[in-house]
Amino acid sequence: MEVLKMFNRRGELQIALSVWWFFILFFISGGIVISASIYYSTDLDVKWLEADILNQRILDCIIDNSYLVDNISDENVFYENCGLDESKFGKGSKYFFKIWVDDEIVFGGGDYSIEKNCEIKKADIGTSKYFPVCSEKQVLVLDEGGKSVFVLTGSNQNGEVVPGV
Amino acid sequence: MRCHNKRLNKKADVALINVIMFLVLNLIFVLALFVFIDYVGSRALIYEQSYAKQIALIIDNAKPDMVVSLDVSDGLEVAKKTENDFSNAFELKQGRIYVDLGKGGGYSYEYFTNYKIDLNLQGDELLISIQEKEVSDENVVGVTNGGVENV
């Protein structure tokens, strides 16, 4: 009878131990799985770099030796001179740009809703990582005693995971 | 006495089965964890994303007649676990760069430049050459001594 009692106690102890053991194991492995998943699903956000590159590129092509080049507002000449793919700045574009000369809009392209979203982002009102990122640059040119050129660009590209075959 | 022994044997059997079950379950748990970590670790998704974005930014920032060399050895090392043929690892299609370092679909990123881009994987280095797009006949104004004048 004494022996049976001891066995029962041992059995209970074993069950309790194994339940706790699996409980701990479950939490440790859960932690590993969650942290690995977070690490490998990290999204590298380069929208700010893209917007900045586009901005610099536009400035480089519309300004030559501190003077504005001719025909900035001519669509064909602009895209050709700047080496930009015109099809990427059409409807549903992931990019946006606008050029002001002395506070007057001279040319723009891409998705204009990006501009509004950037204003929201700038005001920091509940934005998410899916919001576009913009870049602003202002330079002075020597045309007609000095003019101010302001370029605003934005990118809202997130990249795509291509599904496997 | 015999009855008592039988009971003891039964209890011992149950205890042994418990121990075996416990060990087997532990083993399955640990194995599943290792398989998961190995599977996640062997996926080159993070490299694919990083290279796709890097290459797209290089292309966007480059000027014609530039050749940029990008070290992709880290990504290829991971990819070698599942793939040996890297001829289609880096591809350009319709203004997008596609990077596929494994048996998955890979990652793609768009670039906005309209230059002529060539990708050439040499060993562990990816050579990205950027050239002015070939001039179409409509834009050609005059040909002088074999050269082309473009407006």
Whether residue B132 contacts residue B115, with contact meaning beta carbons closer than 8 Å, is answered with yes
In a domain? residue B148: no
> Which tops the pLDDT comparison, B18 or B6?
B18
* pLDDT on residue B3: 57
The answer to whether residue B17 sits within a structural domain is yes
Query: What is the residue whose two structure tokens read 């079950």?
Result: B21
Answer whether residue B36 is part of any domain.
Answer: yes
Same domain assignment for residues B53 and B97 = yes
Other C-beta atoms closer than 10 Å to the C-beta of A26 total 11
| B10 in reach of chain A (CB within 8 A) | no
Phi (first) and psi of residue B108, to 5 degrees: -130, 150
Examine residue B136 and state whether it is found in any structural domain, yes or no.
no
Q: Is B151 domain-assigned?
A: no
- Of B66, B75, B72, B69, residue with least CA distance to B113: B66
Distances in Å between the Cα of B53 and the Cα atoms of A80, A163, B94 are: 24, 18, 16
Same-domain check for residues B21 and B56: no
Q: Distance (Å, rounded) from C-alpha A27 to C-alpha A29?
A: 6
* More confident site: A40 or B75: B75
Please tell me whether residues B17 and B81 are part of one structural domain.
Answer: no
B14 and B67 co-located in one domain: no
Dihedral (C-alpha) B31, B37, B42, B47: value to the nearest 10 degrees? 180
Average pLDDT score over residue span B133-147: 46
Residue B105: per-residue pLDDT:
82
Whether residue B49 is found in the same domain as residue B118 = yes
Q: Does B25 touch chain A (CB under 8 A)?
A: yes
Among A53, A43, A41, CA closest to A130 = A43
Q: Are residues B36 and B55 in the same domain?
A: no
The whole-number pLDDT of residue A139 equals 94
pTM greater than 0.80 (yes/no)? no
Strand B96-99 and strand A63-64: the pairing is: unpaired
> Looking at the structure, do residues B56 and B2 belong to the same domain, yes or no?
no
Q: Enter the tokens of residue A144.
A: 């007609």
| Same domain (yes/no): B63, B106 | yes
Residue B34 sits in the same domain as residue B104: no
Residue whose C-alpha is closest to residue A156's, from A107, A102, A116: A116
pLDDT of residue B5 exceeding 80, the answer is no
Residue in this structure with the two tokens 């599942």, named with its chain if needed: B82
User: Which residues are registered as beta bridge partners of A80?
Assistant: none
Q: Which DSSP state fits B67?
A: E
Class of domain A47-155: alpha beta
Q: Are B99 and B48 in contact (CB under 8 A)?
A: yes
Q: What is the CATH number of the domain that holds B54?
A: 2.60.40
> What range defines the domain where residue B106 resides?
45-131
H helices of B71-143, in order, are 73-79
Domain count, chain B: 2
In a domain, B140, yes or no: no
Per-residue pLDDT for chain A (165 aa), expressed as one digit of tens each? 444 454 455 555 565 567 787 788 888 888 988 888 888 777 888 999 999 999 999 999 999 999 999 888 888 889 988 999 999 998 889 999 999 999 899 999 999 999 888 888 888 776 677 889 999 999 999 988 889 999 999 999 988 888 876
Asked whether residue B27 falls in the same domain as residue B91, the answer is: no
Put simply, the chain B residues between 120 and 149 with a CB less than 8 A from any chain A CB are 132, 139
Write out chain A residues lying below 8 Å of B49, CB-based. 43-44, 159
CA gap A96, A98 in Å, rounded: 7
For residue B139, the model assigns a pLDDT of 46
Is B104 a domain residue?
yes
Confirm if B98 and A156 have CB atoms less than 8 A apart.
Answer: no
Any domain includes B147: no
Contacts of B98 in chain A (CB under 8 A): 162
Residue B151, burial from CB neighbour count under 10 angstroms (0-12, 13-18, 19+): exposed
Q: Has the ipTM of the complex gone over 0.85?
A: no
pLDDT, one tens digit per residue, over B16-57 is: 887 888 888 888 888 988 888 877 776 678 889 999 999 999
Q: Say what the pLDDT of residue A13 is.
A: 56
The pLDDT of residue A137: 95
Instruction: Provide the phi-psi class of A71: left if phi over 0, else alpha when psi is between -120 and 50, else beta.
Output: left
Gap between the Cα atoms of B116 and B36, Å rounded: 42
Closest to B96 in 3D by CA, of A147, A158, A9: A158
> Dihedral sign, CA of B56, B61, B66, B69?
negative
Same domain membership, residue B22 and residue B63: no
CA atoms within 13 A on the CB side of A125: 6
Taking the Cβ of residue A92 and every Cβ of chain B, the question of whether any pair is shorter than 8 Å is answered with no
pLDDT at B70: 96
Of B57, B108, B115, the CB nearest to A160: B108
State whether the Cα torsion B98-B101-B104-B107 is positive or negative: negative
Whether B24 and B84 share a structural domain: no
Query: Is the pLDDT assigned to residue B113 strictly greater than 80?
Result: yes
